Structure 1
Amino acid sequence: MQRIPCVLMRGGTSKGPFFHAWDLPTNVVERDEMLINLMGSGHELEIDGIGGGSPQTSKVAILSPSLHADADVDYLFVQVMVAQRRVDTAPNCGNMLCAVGPFAIEEGLVQATEGKTLVRIRNLNTGTFVNSLVETPGGIVRYEGRTAIDGVPGTAAPVQLTFLDAVGSKTGKLFPTGQASDVIDDVELTCIDMAMPMMIIEASKLGVTGGESPAELEGNSALMQKIEALRIKAGAAMGLGDVSGMVIPKPVLISPAKFDGTLQVRYFMPHDCHRALAITGAIGLATACVSPGTVVMQMLGERANGLTQVRLEHPSGSIDIALERTAGKPIQASVVRTARRLFSGYVYAPSVRRLAG
């Protein structure tokens, strides 16, 4: 058995182990096999590993000092599949990203400053940059506070994330198909790539209200099959190729807000409905709210004019996103989340056979 230094952290509504890159194999195939083994991937409960049996709790963050002039640390996100023994490193994860700043400071990758510490993060999955502002009174990361986020019990210290250049995170374009809306199989949808490639559809177009619980949506086999068929075609149209084995683009169902929000959303990962909402997904949805021609802006109508604050209602509550638009510059989006260090120590994984070459 291999003993690997590890810190388990909650970031937003996700949690998973955080590693230093130097503690993992440099060979990518060996590294991925190790992560599959230590998480217990291939079993629906991940019973023989530290994964939580859900896409939200089967995530890994790998950090290293950055050589880029605009970043302090490099962050690689790994989505470890639950029932399948494989990983996906195509997308970023904004929830796990919430814990990157605190981890980097406590592990000595970034020097803390009095009051608050700015951690400049380069996401290796997408090549994009995010600023994380962490509370550090006395030069120590503060986890306790009064900030509440829906989907997580209790309160904690705020972590502010600002996405600096999230446009075209995987495709290089905000609208990879060349237009703000498309029609696939007689269904109008928007393919957008802002922090996360997504396929956005008005829920009513697929015969649901958009207010159903995640379990209800996942139990609707006809709906899930239709969403996957559309996702595969949308992925090809976005230039992502055959996405049947990928977790992008993410399907999203939108509907009018029930309460005081801007929009109600159901976000898929892609075959399970998120119990809350991915941060990267929230950034993309907020951008779609103010982008002419999208199915989101069409649904909002005049309410979309001049929006600088977007509230997205999800199954566990809501999340607020602030938008900043400067002439000649891409849209920047900010969100406040929380994080917590859960334990630190070692995780044990079966030895991975060294690969030839």
Structure 2
Amino acid sequence: MFKHTLPRLPNRPKLTQLPPCSRQIQTKKQNSLPAAYYRGGTSRAVIFKQSDLPKDKNHWAPIFRSVIGSPDPYGRQLDGLGGGLSSLSKVCVVGPSTHPSADVDYTFISLGIKNTDVDYSSNCGNMSSAVGPFAVDAQLVPVHSNQDSASVRIHNTNTGKIIHSSFPVVDGEAASTGDFAIDGVSGTAARVQLDFIDPAGSVTGKLLPTGNVTDTFDGTRVTCIDVGNPCVFVQADDLGVQGNMTPEEITAHPDLLVRLDSIRRQAGVKMGIAKEREEVPGSVPKICIVAAPSTTDKRDIERKQTAGDVDLLARALSVGQPHKAVPITVALALAAAARVPMSTVAGVVDRDPVDRAGVTIGHASGNLLVGANFDADGGLTSATVFRTARRLFEGRIFWKND
């Protein structure tokens, strides 16, 4: 009789057991907290109520990094709510006021994209426009259901400065619909008026922190000024570049970003922000290229940024990246510097302004008018800008421990 013998099967490999520590990491639940996500001006940020965060602020940084998705070596922050741009890598914390002239405290945090930086050293003017609406929506500042507008006094803890935010409300919440448009954001929305009170000396305590109208770093003349945030202004001609460069052209330039960062760090030391160049934060001082608008350049004409439409051109950097528009704090500083005789900004601004209400700035995405109020001695008492803001979501936000 024929006997069929099955082939002998090889021994199956034993399943490898994960070490206890690895198994624990894989099965650990995520953490979560109440939060909201808002667009403010040309930026976006996750906003927390301070009461929802740990009382010990030393525990905030890991939460913020994981929520935003930093650090990300790919530069996209796909594992968080950041967007791979400095204007999208932000967190705000809002809580009860500790200042007698304010309704709420507001702390701004800028996060590095590829690194672990969690920077509290500066304010964000764009996200300031979302703080008032958030305070109303989160019922930190009560409004009656029949009110059609609200005014929130904001204490920015980064700078110690006061901002007045005024905006329409509907049924007790900040309005989102309106007919006001800002360059850099598609569509229209409800207008938010921001009045920055006594904005000079936000970090250094001085309008001109170095004591000079102009300084020279790496052979390039600059003006260092502190309004809203410490800023450094350099003329495009002195850098040998065009003042209407796009952000992409600035990034692609072979050495411009390196030169600007070197100037910025030296200025930061002389402004007293840090003792050594390596210690200068990524967020301040901000640096901005300025130029007079052209009357013949085709690109300026297409953007309505000719000498008859804007007072100057500005191309700002934020945390090492060319900004798609212009940081509001840089715009405040520009408005002040334009009134300082012999400054690098005054040197490119036409004496006959496009709009006598302030300075009209041509930036990479359009134009921005900054209203500025000065006292009899030429001091800046307040500055006004108009933005829009909108609540994008609210609920619980999740993060995981490293």
Give yes or no for TM over 0.5.
Answer: yes
Whole-angstrom CA distance in 2 between matches of 1:37 and 1:139: 33
Q: Secondary structure in 1 aligned to 2:321?
A: coil
* Alignment equivalent of 1:61, drawn from 92, 101, 115: 92
* Residue 40 (structure 1) aligned to one of 69, 75, 98: 69
- Residues 203-247 of structure 1 show CA distances to partners (whole Å, capped at 9, x for unaligned) of 111110111110110121311111111111111110111354512
Of residues 169, 173, 186, the one that matches 2:206 is 173
Distance across 1 between alignment mates of 2:340 and 2:255: 31
Once the two structures are superposed, residues 85-135 of structure 1 have per-residue CA deviations (whole angstroms, 9 ceiling, x without a partner) of: 221110100111100000001111112252211100000001000000011
1:110 equivalenced with 2:141 (yes/no): yes
Counterpart CA distance in 2 for 1:17 and 1:137 is 23
**2:215 paired with 1:182:** yes
- Separation in 1 of the partners of 2:399 and 2:170? 37
Among candidates 310, 320, 326, match of residue 277 of structure 1: 326
Percent identical: 36
SS of the residue corresponding to residue 258 of structure 2 reads helix
Secondary structure in 1 aligned to 2:346? helix
Please give the residue correspondences for 1:312-323 in structure 2 after superposition, counting only pairs within 5 Å.
312-323=361-372
Paired amino acid for 1:20 = K
**Structure 2 residue aligned with 1:22:** 51
User: How far has the Cα of 1:331 moved from its partner?
Assistant: 2.9
Whether contact under 8 Å (1:290, 1:305) holds in the other structure is no
Contact 1:196 1:281 in 2 (8 A): yes
SS in 2 for 1:96: helix
Q: Which moved more, 1:230-239 or 1:130-139?
A: 130-139
1:77 aligns with 2:127: no
Instruction: Give the residue type in structure 2 aligned to 1:337.
Output: R
Among 185, 188, 197, the residue aligned to 2:230: 197
Listed as ranges, the matches of 1:83-98 within 5 Å are 83-98=114-129
| 1:341 equivalent in structure 2 | 391
Whether the 8 Å contact between 1:105 and 1:111 is mirrored in structure 2 is: yes
RMSD: 1.7
Q: Is the 8 A contact 2:228 2:330 kept in 1?
A: yes
C-alpha deviations, 1:283-316, integer Å up to 9, x for none? 1111111122211112225337995421101111
Separation in 2, partners of 1:236, 1:32: 26
Say yes or no: does 1:262 pair with 2:311: yes
CA distance in 2: counterparts of 1:23 and 1:243, whole angstroms: 36
TM-score for both structures, normalised by structure 1: 0.95
> How far did residue 29 of structure 1 move?
2.7
TM-score by length of 2: 0.84
**Unaligned 5+ runs, structure 2:** 1-29, 294-304
The answer as to whether partners of 2:38 and 2:130 remain within 8 angstroms in 1 is yes
Give the aligned residue type for 2:319. Answer: P
Distance 1:307 1:267 in 2: 24
- The residue number in structure 2 matching 1:13 is 42
Which amino acid in 1 is paired with 2:55? T
Given residue 52 of structure 2, which amino acid in structure 1 is its aligned partner? D
C-alpha displacement at 1:189, in angstroms?
Answer: 0.6
In the alignment, is residue 129 of structure 1 matched against residue 165 of structure 2? no
Contact 1:7 1:19 in 2 (8 A): yes
Q: Larger Rg: 1 or 2?
A: 2
Which runs of no fewer than 5 residues in structure 1 stay unpaired? 353-357
Distance 1:138 1:170, change over 3 A: same
Q: 2:382: which partner in 1? A: 332
